[in-house]
Amino acid sequence: MKPFLKLSLLTFIVTQTGIAQKYDDALISKNSEINFAKTQKRGIKKNNMVYYVENDLQTVSAYKRKKLKWQTNVISICGKPKKGEPEIRYVGYNSNKLLIVIGKHNFAEIDVNSGETKFVG
């Protein structure tokens, strides 16, 4: 098999695996925020989108009609927090972004349309 064909096939398999991901409807909140210290909920549903924190507690995925729209690993992009575990502790929905708390005192923002993630302090 030619190298280009192998790469294309691998890309197709990885892409298809990503699309097949699901979330648990019972863990979705209709509220605008989730504090993991106070609830077992893992996702927020707003405007026909579900923003879901995956099992690793580092990755946020956006789903529209149960299909993956985008996915971002907040810890990989923002780095490990100086204090606390390298995991998401809080998610808040704002009209155009998700506000994320990682560790004890680190903050990130995720654009709800594109998944673009940035460290804010």
Paired tokens of 92? 């808040």
Residue with tokens 């804010």: 120
Assess if residue 109 is contained within a domain.
Answer: yes
CATH at residue 35: 2.40.10.480
Asked if the structure places residue 107 within a domain, the reply is: yes
Q: Encode the chain (121 residues) as per-residue pLDDT tens digits.
A: 444 434 333 333 333 344 445 788 899 999 999 999 999 999 999 999 999 999 999 999 999 988 999 999 999 999 999 899 999 999 999 989 999 999 998 999 999 999 999 999 9
Helices (H), the chain: 3-19, 74-78
Based on the structure, what is the number of domains in the chain? Answer: 1
Question: The domain containing residue 47 runs over which residues?
Answer: 23-119
Contact of 42 with 27, CB cutoff 8 Å? yes
**DSSP annotation of 83:** S
Residue 94 within a domain: yes
114 domain residue, yes or no = yes
pTM of the model: 0.80
Give the span between the Cα atoms of 72 and 117, in whole angstroms: 7
How far apart are the C-alpha atoms of 71 and 20, rounded to whole Å? Answer: 13
* pLDDT given at position 21: 56
CB 29 within 8 A of CB 45: yes
- Number of Cβ within 10 Å of residue 29's Cβ equals 18
Confirm whether 11 is domain-assigned: no
Q: Residue 66: its pLDDT value, please? A: 87
